[in-house]
Structure 1
Amino acid sequence: MSFDGLPPLREVIDRHELRAKKALGQNFLLDLNLTGKIARTAGDLTRATVIEVGPGPGGLTRALLAHGARKIVAIEKDERCLAALEEISQHYPGRLEVLPGDALKTDFPRLAVPGEPVRIVANLPYNVGTELLVRWLTEKEWPPFYQSMTLMFQREVAQRIVAEPGSGAYGRLGVLAGWRTNARIAFDVPPQAFTPPPKVTSSVVHLVPRAEPLAADVGKLGKITEAAFGQRRKMLRQSLKGLGGETLLEKVGIDPTRRAETLSIEEFVRLANEA
């Protein structure tokens, strides 16, 4: 038995023949020290509903429950993992609800219980992680349905999330995350912590929504950043040509010869509000 009275994860994976599928972006996290560290990074879970995406065999799920999560709602696309998750659910009666299905088709705000805090904690499948984050950052209702997000990404993606203007990693993700949240990289996770080991280092990012981000239309800001960074080597007058180009830039007092990575979040907001 392991720390929580359930069989060791490797044994669970072997018994249920859970070989990680590349097509699903799976890398199972087995290191108990690291799953515990992620759970602690997420903060006080004792009164929270935790939303987890892609629990797989349940390594992080078990750590979250052991660290006091009041309830976990886990979305799992891989039906092979459901039996292993059901064993965890039986071990922690009433505290784990598993929803079989695709996270990209899930209405996340509906999972929240009114008046109860929600924290999103996940070792996100690599192939959907960025898209899910963008959706959570661009919720129409703000403050959003969640109190915080503690998410694992490839380190390169994590660096883009926390990037500052002027850096090579700064782009659409950095603008959206910086505009609406305080984001930081909590710690790195080496490849050997996973089965199978990915080719890259991963990082856990902790994001807390800003109560009052600068006012901007989410859709317009998305379009402006997409256009600007879609042709990041070009001057803004060229990359934003379809959205007003030089005229728009001059309206808000931005030199049309600048490039996207030099603009502050405040300047992007001004562009979105004028577009």
Structure 2
Amino acid sequence: MDKIKAKKKYGQNFLKDDTVLSMIIQSMPNNNNHIVEIGPGLGDLTKNLVKCKDVTAYEVDTDLFAILKTKFAIPIDSGSLTLIHADVLESWTKQKSLHNSKYDLIANLPYYIATNIILRAFEDEACEHIIVMVQKEVAEKFSANEGDKEFSALGVISKLCSIESKILFDVPPESFDPPPKVTSSILYIKKDMSKTMDKNFNSFLKACFQQPRKKLSKNVSSIVPKETISSLFEELEISDNIRPHELSASLYSQIYTKAIIDGREQNSTE
């Protein structure tokens, strides 16, 4: 094993379990998409990915980048692996997409930026599949259904922007070096490529779920006038007592369209 210590600031936990690595490879969709990996670490998943397809890997850690350059010199020279030394969120901001053609995101994500990465992948029009290792709690939020206690803004976005979202399997702490303090899960998302995510909708959802145990109408009243909410809930036949996790994704979309988008357009014409 490479003599390198995992760095807390990058949320590094190196996946070492060959069985789990094999299961991730088996879960890959059968298509011609490119693969993008974020945070390849010591390259344990990378070495399996490059056997299947061409890969672009983003690594922010200078020490790991140097190790990977040496370890994967042959696939880098042949062009089957493109290794990029960069902060992936900064790269996304600069270039809008992590690859210039359709790709699948397959990665063991650092916990501290996993949610942001998945949300950015939803915004990236070139990304079709998301198969990522994340904290189990995060995976549950993205795969939850209305009525589940885990259903949140992340679940609404996932429901509206994907064809399928599910947890494939859990991964125990001992599969990593060093072992994290939580259980991980492999999250699988197949995006609906005809849908795009509105950043303002994300902000609207944050307001809706800001106090999950309170009534939805009270949460929404922080950004929408109470009279508008009352008439909308009546029109859409939504109970005034409903809690945020109980409402369907499609109704969230309708409330947003009628209260925010239509209201904005109306104000601009006045």
Same fold (TM over 0.5): yes
Indicate whether 1:248 and 2:228 are aligned. Answer: yes
Indicate whether 1:195 and 2:177 are aligned. Answer: yes
Q: What residue number does 1:73 align with? A: 56
Aligned AA for 1:96? Answer: L
Q: What residue number does 2:268 align with? A: none
Counterpart CA distance in 2 for 1:217 and 1:19 is 38
Counterpart CA distance in 2 for 1:122 and 1:273 is 34
Equivalent residue runs for 1:1-275 within 5 Å: 10=1, 13-14=2-3, 18-44=4-30, 47-66=32-51, 68-69=52-53, 71-92=54-75, 93-107=78-92, 109-114=96-101, 117-139=102-124, 144-181=125-162, 182-213=164-195, 218-249=198-229, 250-251=231-232, 252-253=235-236, 254-274=238-258, 275=260
Task: Please list every run of 5 or more consecutive structure 2 residues that lacks an aligned counterpart in the other structure.
Answer: 261-270
Counterpart CA distance in 2 for 1:136 and 1:20 is 26
Counterpart CA distance in 2 for 1:261 and 1:23 is 33
Give the 3-state SS of the residue equivalent to 1:177 in structure 2: helix
Counterpart CA distance in 2 for 1:102 and 1:217 is 22
| CA deviation after TM superposition for structure 1 residue 245, in Å | 4.4
* Worse-matched range after superposition: 126-135 or 80-89: 80-89
Identical amino acids, percent of aligned pairs: 28
Aligned AA for 1:31? Answer: D
Aligned AA for 1:202? Answer: S
Determine if contact 2:128/2:193 at 8 Å carries over to the other structure.
no
Counterpart CA distance in 2 for 1:78 and 1:103 is 11
Counterpart CA distance in 2 for 1:74 and 1:188 is 24
Determine if contact 1:217/1:273 at 8 Å carries over to the other structure.
no
Two-structure CA RMSD over aligned residues (Å): 1.9
Instruction: Tell me the TM-score normalized by structure 2.
Output: 0.86
Give the 3-state SS of the residue equivalent to 1:57 in structure 2: coil
Determine if contact 2:13/2:176 at 8 Å carries over to the other structure.
yes
Aligned AA for 1:195? Answer: D
* Worse-matched range after superposition: 247-256 or 168-177: 247-256
Give the 3-state SS of the residue equivalent to 1:208 in structure 2: strand
| Count of matched residue pairs | 250
Determine if contact 1:186/1:203 at 8 Å carries over to the other structure.
yes
Describe the superposition over 1:111-138 as per-residue Cα deviations: whole angstroms up to 9, x where unpaired. 4234xx3111110011110111112224
Counterpart CA distance in 2 for 1:106 and 1:21 is 21
Task: Please list every run of 5 or more consecutive structure 1 residues that lacks an aligned counterpart in the other structure.
Answer: 1-9
Aligned AA for 1:238? Answer: K
Instruction: Tell me the TM-score normalized by structure 1.
Output: 0.85
Give the 3-state SS of the residue equivalent to 1:185 in structure 2: strand
Give the 3-state SS of the residue equivalent to 2:126 in structure 1: coil
